[in-house]
């Protein structure tokens, strides 16, 4: 089901990620990606590293469109990857799209070099 141009990487059906949870996608030679499904049904993908001390964001509590890091409770925006509130820092985001019940990540953002 991937695009003819092959820009998007099909990572499987949306049903693999329950709303309010996240799952991980290791990339060989690159950064692990966390794919989030919010309680309101949206999907986001971020590098699975907190800008603070690399905490695995996939394991945090998801509320609204943010995740609270499991290590020291920074709140990270799933839309922008920015730390919210008084904390400063940003995690790279990966464009996601949903098509016919399947999840796609922008291929170049998954495997390409990434500004960290």
Partner 1 sequence: MNAQSKIDPGNGAPSREKLVVVGNGMAGCRAVEEILACEPDRFDITIFGAEPRVNYNRIMLSPVLAGEKSFDDIVINTAEWYDENGIALVSGDPVVHIDREIGQVVSRSGRVESYDRLLIATGSDPFVIPVPGHNLPGVVTFRDLDDVDRMLAAADKGGSAVVIGGGLLGLEAAHGLALRGMKVTVLHLMPTLMERQLDEAAGWLLKNELERRGQTILTGADTAEILEKDGHVSGVKLKDGTEIPADIVVMAVGIRPNTQLAKAAGLEVGRGIVVDDHMVTSDPAVLAVGECVEHRGACYGLVAPLWDMCRSLAAGLTAQPRGYEGSVTSTKLKVSGIDLFSAGDFSGGDDCEDIVMRDASRGVYKRVIVRDNRLIGAVLYGDTADGNWYFDLLKKGEDISDIREALIFGQAFAAGGALADPNAAVAALSDDAEICGCNGVSKGQVVSCITAGAHSLDAVRSSCKASASCGSCTGLVESLLAITLGDDAVESGPKTLCKCTSFTHDDVRRLILEKQLKEIPEVMQELHWTTPDGCSSCRPALNYYLLCAWPGEYRDDERSRFVNERLHANIQKDGTYSVVPRMWGGLTSPKELRAIADVVEKYNAPMVKVTGGQRLDIFGIRKEDLPAVWADLNAAGMVSGHAYGKALRTVKTCVGSEWCRFGTQDSTGLGVKIEKLTWGSYMPHKFKIAVSGCPRNCAEATIKDFGVICVDSGYELHIGGNGGIKVRATDLLCKVETEQEAMDICIAFIQLYREDAHYLERTAPWLERKGLDWIKGELFDDPARVQRLGDRFRLSQKYWQVDPWAGRARGAHRELHSHLAEVRPLKLEQA
Minimum CB distance to partner 1, residue 116 (Å)? 16
CA separation (Å) from 95 to 13, 52, 53, 70? 16, 22, 23, 23
Q: Is 31 helix (H, G, I), strand (E, B) or coil?
A: coil
d(CA 72, CA 44): 21
The partner in contact with residue 59, picked from ligand FES, partner 1, none with C-beta cut-offs of 5 to 8 angstroms by kind, is partner 1
Q: Does 55 bind ligand FES (CB under 6 A)?
A: yes
Contacts of ligand FES in 60-99 (CB under 6 A): 69, 71-74
Structure tokens at 12: 């499987």
Among candidate residues 39, 35, 41, the one with its CA nearest the CA of residue 56? 35
Minimum CB distance to ligand FES, residue 89 (Å)? 9
Of 18 and 88, CB closest to partner 1: 18
Instruction: Give the interface with partner 1 as residue ranges (CB under 8 A).
Output: 9, 11-12, 15-21, 23-30, 33, 35, 38-42, 53-56, 59-66, 68, 70-71, 73, 75, 77, 79-80, 82, 84, 99-101, 110-111
Interstrand relation of 102-106 and 8-13 (parallel, antiparallel or unpaired): antiparallel
Structure tokens at 51: 């800008």
Chain residues in the site for ligand FES (CB under 6 A): 50, 52-55, 69, 71-74
């Amino acid at each position: 089901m991937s695009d003819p141009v092959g820009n998007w990487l099909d990572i499987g059906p949306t049903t693999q990620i329950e709303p309010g949870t996240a799952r991980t996608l290791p990339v060989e030679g690159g950064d692990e990606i966390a794919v989030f499904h919010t309680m309101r049904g949206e999907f986001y993908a971020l590098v699975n590293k907190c800008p603070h001390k690399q905490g695995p964001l996939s394991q945090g509590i998801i509320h609204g469109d943010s995740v609270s890091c499991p290590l020291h409770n920074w709140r990270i925006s799933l839309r922008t990857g920015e730390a919210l509130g008084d904390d400063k820092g940003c995690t790279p985001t990966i464009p996601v799209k949903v098509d016919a019940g399947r999840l796609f990540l922008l291929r170049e953002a998954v495997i390409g070099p990434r500004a960290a």
